[in-house]
Structure 1
C-alpha cells in the first residue's frame, strides 16, 4: 500500500493513494521556483493528498506571470517550508518530493519528461523515458472535487 508523507514539523501532507501523474517537469515556472533544470513532480487527485493543518498554510500564485492561474504554492506560515501546490479548481494537488519534505526514493520513478522544448538550451533528455512538450498525451484532468 502506498503511503507518502511530506511537509514540515508544523504541517503534514500525506497520501495513501498513488499519484495519477508522475513526471520530470522542465517548465520555466518549476525552474524558477526550485532552481533546478528539471524537477520530479507528482499529481494526486485533489482529495487523495491531505493536510493536517490547512489553517497554517500561506498561499501565493505558483506562476508569478499568471497570478490568477489555477495553482497556488502553499507554504508553512510558521517556517516558510514549501508544502504542496493546491489547485483552486480542486482537481489535483501536487507534490514535489525533493523540495516538499518527502523522501523522493519512496515515490515511483517519473514515467516521462514534461514541458521540454528546444529553446531550453540543453539537450533533449535521452534516458529512455518519453519526452513531451506538455503533459503526456493520454493525461486527462480529473473532475473538480466538490
Structure 2
C-alpha cells in the first residue's frame, strides 16, 4: 500500500498511513517564528500514523523557544538539516507542515479551519469561509499516548 502522504528528505523519509486527525491553518506566534510564514498549514496525525524510516538520523530541538520543556520537538535531519516533522514527547500526535517538510503540498487536503487567530495580531480575521477559532477546533480531542 502506498502512503497517502510522504515527506522528509533524501536521508529520512516520513510517511503517513492514514488521514490527518486535524488539519488547520495556524496563526500562532510559535508557527510564525519557526516558519517565517504569516500562516502555516498544519496537519496533526495520530502518533502511530506518521512513520519515520531512520529515526536515528533525527536531531530534536524544542518547537517553542519560549517553552523549551514543552511537549513538541522539531525533528531535523542530521545529514542535511531538513525539517522532517514535529514530534510529541507525550506520543499523542506527530505533525506535518506540508510546504516546509518535503510533502507535495498540492496533494495534501486543504486546511479545514483557522486556528489560534486573535484580534491582537493586528490583522483582520480570515474571510475565506472556513471557521476561525482562537485555539484548536472545539471538538478536537487529543488522542491517548502511545
Gapped runs of 5+ residues in structure 1?
none
SS at match of 1:69: coil
C-alpha contact 1:2 1:18 (8 A) present in aligned 2: no
> Match of 2:58?
57
Aligned residues: 145
Indicate the residue corresponding to 1:10 in structure 2.
11
Shift of 1:16: 2.0
Q: Does 1:103 align with 2:104?
A: yes
In the TM superposition, what are the counterparts of 1:121-132 in structure 2 within 5 Å? 121-132=122-133
Q: Map Cα deviations across residues 71-103 of structure 1 (whole Å, 9 max, x no partner).
A: 000000010000000000000000000000001
Alignment of 1:63-78 (within 5 A): 63-78=64-79
In the aligned structure 2, how far is the partner of 1:123 from the partner of 1:37? 12
Other structure's SS at 2:124 match: coil
* CA RMSD, 1 decimal: 0.9
| Distance (Å, rounded) in 2 between the aligned partners of 1:129 and 1:122 | 17
1:35 partnered with 2:24: no
Give the C-alpha shift of residue 121 in structure 1: 1.2
Contact 1:12 1:51 in 2 (8 A): yes
Say which SS state the counterpart of residue 99 (structure 1) adopts: coil
Segments of 4+ in structure 1 off by > 4 A? none
Any unmatched runs of 5+ in structure 2?
none
Normalising to structure 2: TM-score of the pair?
A: 0.97
